[in-house]
C-alpha cells in the first residue's frame, strides 16, 4: 500500500519534470498562449481521469497528466505575463501569479473540508480541479499572444496592435523600436550561426549569466527547506499544544493563509524594493526562522517526557507492544521517553499526563479507540511529536518561515526567470530553469525523510540553515537587479555586468545599471 501511495505522489513530480523540460521548446515553437492552453488541457484531462479512476493504475495515469500540465504551466504562465506587461508593473503582475497559486492552495483546503462528508469524497476533491482549468482554457482563447513572441516570428503588425493596448501613447513607440531592434539583432545572430543548442547557449555570455541566476534561484528555492517545513507543519502545531491531529490539520489552513499573505506582500514590494533586496530580506528571515525551529526540535528531542510503566498500565490492554517487550521483571521502563516511544513503532502513541503534559505519561497502541480513551481522561494524545515547553516557539518559527519565504524566495525566482533571458532563448532557458526546480523538488522530497531518520530533525534543519546562508552569498554574487528595466535592456545589462565575487566591497555594476539602461532605452 505504501509503495502505491509513493508512486501516486511521485508520478505527478515526474510528469512536472517532463512537462517543464519540453515546455520550453513548445513555448518558443508554438507561442506562450498555446503552451498555456495545452497545459490547461492536460491538467483538465488528468483531473477527470483521477476523479473517474477505478484502480491505482488509472489514478497514476491521471497524476502524470496533471504533472505534465503543472510543469508546462510553471514557466509558460510567468513568461506570458512578463512579456505582456508594462515594465513598471511587470514584477507585480508576475507576483500576482504566485499569489493566485498560493491563494488557490488555501481555497483547495476549504474545498476539501467542504467535501469531507460528501459521498465519494476523494473523487470530488480531485475532480473539482478540472473546473478552473476549463475556465482558463476558455479565457485564454480570448487573450492575445505575447507581442515579443509575435515580433520574433515576424508578425509585427499583430505585435504592434497588442503593444498599443498595453503601453500609454507616449511610451509605446519607444517600446516598439526597442523591441524591434532587439529582435533584428537576434535574427541576424541566428542567421549567422547554427541551430540553438545547449553548447551554443552556454558559450553566449548573456545566456550563461542568465542561467546562473535563473537556475540557481530555482534550485535554492527547493533546497532552503520549504517542503520540509510544510511537511512538518502539523508536527509543529502539535508541539505548540494542539495535540489532536484534526486540529493540527485544520490549522494547516492558517499556514496556507500566511503563504497567500506573503504573496500579496511580494506584489506590493517587488517593483518598489527590487528583486535582489527582496530575495536577501527573504533569505535572512528564513535563516532566523530555521534557527528557531532547529533549537526547538533539539530541545524537544533531548528533554522529552519519560514513559511511566505505572501510568501505561492504567490503560488496560492498550500498551504499545514495542514498549511492553522492554519491561523487566520489576516493571522498569529502561529509560524510555516519549521520543523513544514514537520512534519505536508507527503503532505507538504517547498519552501525556493530565496535570502537566511535561510529566511522565503512557506509551500506548496508536488508534482511534486509544486516542479517545486518552482524551476522555482530559489528557493530550501525541503521534507526530512530543510535548515541549518550547512548542509555542516552534509555531512562531513556522509562521516566520512562511512569512519570510513567500514574498521573496516563493515568487522572485519565477519573476527573474521570466525576464532575464534573451528573447531567442527565453522559452528554452525558462524550461531548463523550471525543470531544475522540479528535479530539486523531487530530490528533497525523496531524501529528507531518510535524512531525518539518519541524523534527526534538528540537524536536518541545521543543514537547511547552511544551505540558506549559501543562497544569500549566491544572490549577492550571481543575481543582478532587473527592477525597472525593459526586458530588452536586461540583455545589455547582463553583457556589461561582471560577477560580483567581492560583494562585500559593493556592486558598482548594479548601482549604475538601472539608470544607464533607462537612459539608453529612452534614447532609442
**Residue 44 belongs to some domain of the structure:** yes
What pLDDT is attached to residue 318? 85
Average pLDDT over residues 437-449: 84
pLDDT category of residue 206 using cuts at 50, 70 and 90: confident
Looking at the structure, do residues 17 and 125 belong to the same domain, yes or no? yes
Residue 173 lies in a domain: no
Q: Is the pLDDT score of 453 beyond 80?
A: no
Give me the mean pLDDT over the 276-292 stretch. Answer: 95
**351 and 486 housed in the same domain:** no
Residue 170 is predicted with a pLDDT of 81
Across all residues in the chain, what is the average pLDDT? 82
Q: Check whether residue 299 and residue 311 sit in a common domain.
A: no
Co-location of 299 and 310 in the same domain: no
Do residues 358 and 428 both lie within one domain? no
Last residue of a domain, one of 329, 361, 382: 382
Q: What is the CATH number of the domain that holds 108?
A: 1.20.1250.20
In this predicted model, which residue has the larger pLDDT, 276 or 330? Answer: 276
Q: Is the pLDDT of residue 193 over 60?
A: no
What is the structure's pLDDT at 135?
A: 94
Counting residues of the chain whose pLDDT is more than 90, the rounded percentage is 27
Closest CA to 287 of 430, 146, 401, 410: 401
Say whether both 119 and 233 belong to one domain: no
Predicted pLDDT at 140:
94
Phi first, then psi: what are they for 174, rounded to 5°?
A: -60, -40
Distance CA 177, CA 499 (A): 30
322 CB-near residues (< 8 Å, 6+ apart): 341, 344, 345, 347, 348
Q: How far apart are CA 76 and CA 86, in angstroms?
A: 18
pLDDT at residue number 520: 42
In a domain, 95, yes or no: yes
Which residue, 143, 160, 183, sits at the end of a domain? 143
> Which of the four pLDDT bands, split at 50, 70 and 90, describes residue 245?
low
* 79, 99: one domain: yes
Provide mean pLDDT across the span 465-479: 94
The maximal CA–CA distance of the chain, rounded, in angstroms, is 91
- For the chain, the domain total comes to 3
Residue 189 lies in a domain: no
Closest of 452, 423, 417 to residue 437, by C-alpha: 417
Residues 273 and 320 in one domain: no
Residue 408 and residue 375 share a domain: no
Q: 103 pLDDT band (50/70/90 cuts)? A: confident
Range of the domain at 440: 195-304+388-496
Is 55 among the domain residues? yes
User: Do residues 300 and 322 both lie within one domain?
Assistant: no
The answer to whether residue 434 sits within a structural domain is yes
Quote the pLDDT of residue 517. Answer: 44
What pLDDT, on the 0 to 100 scale, is given for residue 470? 96
User: Is the pLDDT confidence value at 512 over 70?
Assistant: no
User: Average pLDDT in the 126-135 region?
Assistant: 90
Q: What is the pLDDT of residue 117?
A: 65
Pair (280, 426) in one structural domain: yes
Give the pLDDT confidence of 214-240 residue by residue, as tens digits.
999 999 999 998 877 876 777 677 666
217 and 237 assigned to the same domain: yes
Give the mean pLDDT of 469-496: 86
Give the whole-angstrom CA distance, residue 520 versus residue 485.
10
Q: What is the pLDDT of residues 384-393, one digit of tens each?
A: 778 888 878 8
Supply the pLDDT for residue 219. 96
Domain-located, residue 438: yes
Q: Is residue 341 part of a domain?
A: yes
Pick from 182, 85, 81, 157: nearest CA to 424: 182
Domain boundary among 382, 413, 430: 382
**Dist CA 130 CA 109 (whole Å):** 16
Amino acid at each position: 500500500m505504501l509503495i502505491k501511495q509513493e508512486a501516486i505522489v511521485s508520478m505527478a513530480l515526474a510528469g512536472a519534470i517532463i512537462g517543464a523540460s519540453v515546455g520550453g521548446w513548445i513555448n518558443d515553437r508554438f507561442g506562450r498562449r498555446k503552451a498555456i492552453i495545452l497545459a490547461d488541457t492536460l491538467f483538465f484531462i488528468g483531473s477527470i481521469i483521477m476523479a473517474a479512476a477505478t484502480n491505482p493504475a488509472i489514478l497514476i495515469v491521471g497524476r502524470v497528466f496533471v504533472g505534465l500540465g503543472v510543469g508546462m504551466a510553471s514557466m509558460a504562465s510567468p513568461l506570458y505575463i512578463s512579456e505582456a506587461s508594462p515594465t513598471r508593473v511587470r514584477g507585480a503582475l508576475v507576483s500576482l501569479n504566485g499569489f493566485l497559486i498560493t491563494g488557490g492552495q488555501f481555497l483547495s483546503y476549504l474545498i476539501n473540508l467542504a467535501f469531507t462528508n460528501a459521498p465519494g469524497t476523494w473523487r470530488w476533491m480531485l475532480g473539482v480541479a478540472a473546473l478552473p482549468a476549463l475556465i482558463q482554457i476558455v479565457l485564454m482563447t480570448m487573450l492575445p499572444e505575447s507581442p515579443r513572441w509575435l515580433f520574433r516570428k515576424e508578425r509585427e503588425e499583430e505585435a504592434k496592435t497588442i503593444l498599443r493596448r498595453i503601453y500609454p501613447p507616449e511610451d509605446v513607440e519607444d517600446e516598439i523600436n526597442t523591441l524591434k531592434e532587439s529582435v533584428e539583432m537576434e535574427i541576424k545572430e541566428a542567421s549567422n550561426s547554427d541551430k540553438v543548442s545547449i553548447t551554443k547557449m552556454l558559450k553566449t555570455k548573456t545566456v550563461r549569466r542568465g542561467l546562473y541566476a535563473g537556475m540557481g534561484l530555482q534550485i535554492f528555492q527547493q533546497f532552503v527547506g520549504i517542503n520540509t517545513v510544510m511537511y512538518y507543519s502539523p508536527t509543529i502545531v502539535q508541539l505548540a499544544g494542539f495535540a489532536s491531529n484534526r486540529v493540527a490539520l485544520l490549522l494547516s489552513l492558517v499556514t496556507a493563509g500566511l503563504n497567500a499573505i506573503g504573496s500579496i506582500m511580494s506584489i506590493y514590494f517587488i517593483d518598489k524594493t527590487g528583486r535582489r533586496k527582496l530575495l536577501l530580506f527573504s533569505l535572512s528571515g528564513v535563516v532566523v526562522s530555521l534557527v528557531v525551529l532547529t533549537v526547538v526540535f533539539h530541545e524537544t528531542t533531548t528533554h522529552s517526557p519519560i514513559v511511566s510503566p505505572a501510568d501505561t498500565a492504567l490503560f488496560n490492554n492498550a500498551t504499545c507492544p514495542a514498549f511492553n517487550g522492554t519491561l523487566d521483571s520489576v516493571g522498569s521502563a529502561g529509560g524510555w521517553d516519549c521520543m523513544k516511544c514514537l520512534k519505536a513503532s508507527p503503532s505507538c502513541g504517547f498519552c501525556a499526563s493530565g496535570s502537566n503534559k511535561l510529566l511522565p505519561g503512557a506509551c500506548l497502541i496508536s488508534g482511534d479507540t486509544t486516542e479517545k480513551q486518552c482524551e476522555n481522561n482530559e489528557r493530550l494524545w501525541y503521534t507526530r511529536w512530543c510535548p515541549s515547553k518550547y512548542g509555542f516557539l516552534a509555531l512562531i518559527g513556522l509562521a516566520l518561515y512562511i512569512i519570510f519565504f513567500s514574498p521573496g524566495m516563493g515568487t522572485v525566482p519565477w519573476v527573474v526567470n521570466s525576464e532575464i533571458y534573451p528573447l531567442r532563448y527565453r522559452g528554452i532557458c525558462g524550461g531548463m530553469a523550471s525543470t531544475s526546480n522540479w528535479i530539486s523538488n523531487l530530490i528533497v522530497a525523496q531524501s529528507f525523510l531518510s535524512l531525518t531518520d539518519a541524523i534527526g530533525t534538528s540537524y536536518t534543519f541545521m543543514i537547511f540553515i547552511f544551505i540558506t546562508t549559501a543562497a544569500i552569498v549566491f544572490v549577492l554574487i550571481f543575481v543582478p537587479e532587473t527592477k525597472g528595466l525593459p526586458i530588452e535592456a536586461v540583455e545589455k545589462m547582463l553583457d556589461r555586468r561582471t560577477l560580483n565575487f567581492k560583494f562585500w566591497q559593493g556592486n558598482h555594476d548594479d548601482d549604475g545599471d538601472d539608470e544607464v539602461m533607462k537612459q539608453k532605452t529612452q534614447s532609442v
